[in-house]
Amino acid sequence: MTRPLFSVRDLEKRYGARIGCTGVSFDLYPGEVMGIVGESGSGKSTLLGCLAGHMAPDAGTIAYDGRDVLAMSEPERRRMARTDWAFVHQNPRDGLRLSVSAGGNVGERLMAVGGRNYGKIRDTATDWLGRVEIAADRIDDRPSAFSGGMQQRLQIARNLVTGPRLVFMDEPTGGLDVSVQARLLDLIRGLVRRMGLSAIVVTHDLAVVRLLADRLMVMKGGRVIEAGLTDQVLDDPQHAYTQLLVSSVLQV
Ligand SMILES: Nc1ncnc2c1ncn2[C@@H]1O[C@H](COP(=O)(O)OP(=O)(O)OP(=O)(O)O)[C@@H](O)[C@H]1O
């Protein structure tokens, strides 16, 4: 059995007396995609923020590739986040530089990890635009001239170009038209599988986890109330809250 890439134990984050998330533990293996679902206020964003290093948990441990993430120095953690991790925001504008061309958005990530040869960087950026289905002749356009779906695909290219091993995604298809969502999900699934990425995907949309996630954690009131293989949890939910979540989607 391979060892987990990412191990979390008893993670807790409080906002004063209010629980953000508590008692969260899981292992994520290489190439595995885990979904985190739950209604608004259930603690998904808080958990993702703690996992990705955007906020400090109050208790618990996080290990990445055998290393204690919370014990790392800030520069060490930032370097690892740049080379090994990626974060796809719900709003592509939070993950892109709007004043920089599409090619620049992808290329500057390569430069951040040591790329120096301009021709090579441009070639790689062009290749990545193609992989996310953006025509090569848009390379010099700014993302502000792109549709929401294109911006999201560009954000994905910017994040994956450096070959991370672990990708965090916060509602990656949120705020997009249903038809655009379907195409984007397909694209993400293809890239994640081909690159053998591990991913943690937060969403309130069960269709997203159904398509992307191998495993699922259901959150309520900051706690994980049910976890398991995606199909198992969605087809045979054990907890009353999960049953409600699943049946409310089926009724739509
Ligand atoms: N900055 C904050 N200050 C105080 N309480 C907060 C803060 N952020 C979140 N909370 C509280 O922590 C709990 C979990 O919120 P969180 O935003 O993580 O849930 P969520 O599942 O991501 O919701 P949503 O889907 O609406 O983003 C809620 O009770 C929320 O009110």
Specify if 1 maps to a domain: no
| CA–CA separation, 186 and 42 (whole Å) | 27
Is 210's C-beta closer than 6 angstroms to any atom of ligand 1?
no
Read off the pLDDT of residues 208-240 as tens digits, 9 standing for 90 and up. Answer: 999 999 999 999 999 999 999 999 999 999 999
| CA–CA separation, 73 and 239 (whole Å) | 40
Q: DSSP secondary-structure letter at 203?
A: -
Domain boundary among the residues 163, 198, 214 is at: 163
| CA–CA separation, 86 and 104 (whole Å) | 17
Cα distance between the two ends of the chain:
41
Read off the pLDDT of residues 76-129 as tens digits, 9 standing for 90 and up. Answer: 998 898 889 999 999 999 999 999 999 999 999 999 888 888 889 999 999 999
Instruction: Give the domain range for residue 128.
Output: 98-163
Q: Are residues 45 and 147 in the same domain?
A: no
Supply the CATH number for residue 57's domain. 3.40.50.300
Please state, rounded to an integer, the average pLDDT across all residues of the chain.
93
Q: Are residues 79 and 169 in the same domain?
A: yes
Provide the residue count of the chain.
252
Closest-CA residue to 168 (of 47, 93, 87): 87
In this predicted structure, the answer to whether residue 177 has a pLDDT above a threshold of 90 is no
The DSSP line for 107-141 is HHHHHHTT---HHHHHHHHHHHHHHTT--GGGTTS
- Residue 226 pLDDT: 97
Q: State ipTM.
A: 0.95
Residues 75, 78, 79, 82, Cα dihedral to 10°: -160
Residue from 44, 171, 224 whose mutation best tests the ligand 1 pocket (most atoms within 8 A of CB) = 44
Is 90's C-beta closer than 6 angstroms to any atom of ligand 1?
no
> Looking at residues 64-81, what average pLDDT do you find?
93
Q: Are residues 170 and 78 in the same domain?
A: yes
Number of folded domains that form the chain: 2
In this prediction the pTM is 0.94
Closest-CA residue to 105 (of 149, 148, 157): 157
Q: Are residues 159 and 175 in the same domain?
A: no
Read off the pLDDT of residues 132-155 as tens digits, 9 standing for 90 and up. Answer: 999 999 999 999 999 999 999 999
Q: Are residues 12 and 115 in the same domain?
A: no
Cα of 21 to ligand 1 centre, how many Å? 9
Q: Are residues 134 and 207 in the same domain?
A: no
Q: Are residues 242 and 168 in the same domain?
A: yes
Q: Are residues 241 and 170 in the same domain?
A: yes
Q: DSSP secondary-structure letter at 69?
A: G
| CA–CA separation, 43 and 81 (whole Å) | 22
| CA–CA separation, 119 and 125 (whole Å) | 10
Is 15's C-beta closer than 6 angstroms to any atom of ligand 1?
yes
Q: Are residues 126 and 201 in the same domain?
A: no
Q: Which residues pair with 11 in a beta bridge?
A: 24
Residue from 42, 47, 218 whose mutation best tests the ligand 1 pocket (most atoms within 8 A of CB) = 42
* Helices 148-160 and 178-195, axial angle in degrees (round to 10): 10
For residue 174, give both structure tokens.
């949120």
Specify if 33 maps to a domain: yes
